[in-house]
Amino acid sequence: DQQVKQNSPSLSVQEGRISILNCDYTNSMFDYFLWYKKYPAEGPTFLISISSIKDKNEDGRFTVFLNKSAKHLSLHIVPSQPGDSAVYFCASVGSNFGNEKLTFGTGTRLTIIP
Amino acid sequence: DGGITQSPKYLFRKEGQNVTLSCEQNLNHDAMYWYRQDPGQGLRLIYYSQIVNDFQKGDIAEGYSVSREKKESFPLTVTSAQKNPTAFYLCASSFTDLSGELFFGEGSRLTVL
């Protein structure tokens, strides 16, 4: 029973265009959400997060949107660059819990086409 | 440079053998974690530790063991009792406050022959 779902295993986007990665969750207790980025043969690195008190958080080219009623979050990358090619994991947790309760999605492989 | 180091990067093991994966961090983090990644699945928590000399089972602890004798070190032993040990193993560390920001090592790929 996957509580965090990334339904698109892969996504290809032209360089300079917008990349949109999606994530759905089912657990109503989740109120803190994160995106991690992973290059091949490396560990994931934290990218951006959002709390449920917000519906948008922006950091440079990266913006995360949260739709609580739909239990859906998305990561927008604008403009997309070749270095953005990686696997992106979303993760969720309830703020009453610790980091050990982070639940990860299965990942989306983003390929930026030059 | 501060960071988290896993070794070995690649490891082959015969069935029936135990193997230990090393994880060391110099980030002064109290909490450390072991995850397993399989194709088509998210990261699954094996064990975690929030303080020296204490650790807790995660979601898939069966067939694994850990120790936390030093703050910097959190080795994982994959025992012969683990039914399907071939996987990519990731170690991570963090502060104990909920930030969700884990710092990961580069991973260890274990293949059982």
More confident residue, B59 or B39: B59
Average pLDDT in chain A: 94
pLDDT surpasses 70 at B65: yes
CA A19 to the chain's CA centroid: 11
Q: Do A45 and B106 touch (CB under 8 A)?
A: no
Average pLDDT in chain B: 93
**Minimal Cα distance from A44: which residue of B?**
B104
Spell out which residues of chain B touch residue A97, defining contact as CB-CB under 8 Å.
98
Could you give the CA distance from residue A90 to residue A77 in angstroms, rounded to a whole number? 14
Instruction: Please report the pLDDT score of residue B1 as a whole number.
Output: 64
Q: Is B69 strand, coil or helix?
A: coil
Could you give the CA distance from residue A104 to residue A112 in angstroms, rounded to a whole number? 23
Q: Do A43 and B104 touch (CB under 8 A)?
A: yes
Cis peptide before B39 (omega within 30 of 0): no
Mean pLDDT of B31-36: 96
Mean pLDDT of A44-49: 95
pLDDT surpasses 90 at B91: yes
pLDDT surpasses 90 at A95: no
Instruction: Please report the pLDDT score of residue A14 as a whole number.
Output: 98
Could you give the CA distance from residue A6 to residue A2 in angstroms, rounded to a whole number? 10
Percent of chain B with pLDDT over 70: 98
**Nearest by CB: B106 against A34, A43, A99:** A43
Q: Is B75 on the interface with A (CB under 8 A)?
A: no
Q: A96 pLDDT band (50/70/90 cuts)? A: confident
More confident residue, A61 or B13: A61
DSSP chain A: --SEE---SEEEEETTS-EEEEEEE--TT--EEEEEEE-TTS--EEEEEEETT-SEEEETTEEEEEETTTTEEEEEESS--GGG-EEEEEEEE-TTS-GGG-EE---EEEEEE-
**Nearest by CB: A105 against B4, B42, B103:** B42
Could you give the CA distance from residue A27 to residue A4 in angstroms, rounded to a whole number? 8
The CA distances from residue A98 to B42, B72, B73, in Å, are 18, 20, 20
Q: A42 pLDDT band (50/70/90 cuts)? A: confident
Q: Is A106 on the interface with B (CB under 8 A)?
A: yes
DSSP B19-51: EEEEEEE-S--SEEEEEEE-TTS--EEEEEEEE
Q: Is B20 on the interface with A (CB under 8 A)?
A: no
Q: Do B106 and A34 touch (CB under 8 A)?
A: no
Tens of pLDDT, residues A3-41: 999 999 999 999 999 999 999 999 999 999 999 999 988
Which of B30, B48, B36, B47 has its CA nearest to residue B83? B36
Q: B41 pLDDT band (50/70/90 cuts)? A: confident
The three-point CA angle B31-B35-B38 to 5° equals 170
Q: Is A46 on the interface with B (CB under 8 A)?
A: yes
Handedness of CA A44, A50, A52, A55 (dihedral sign): negative
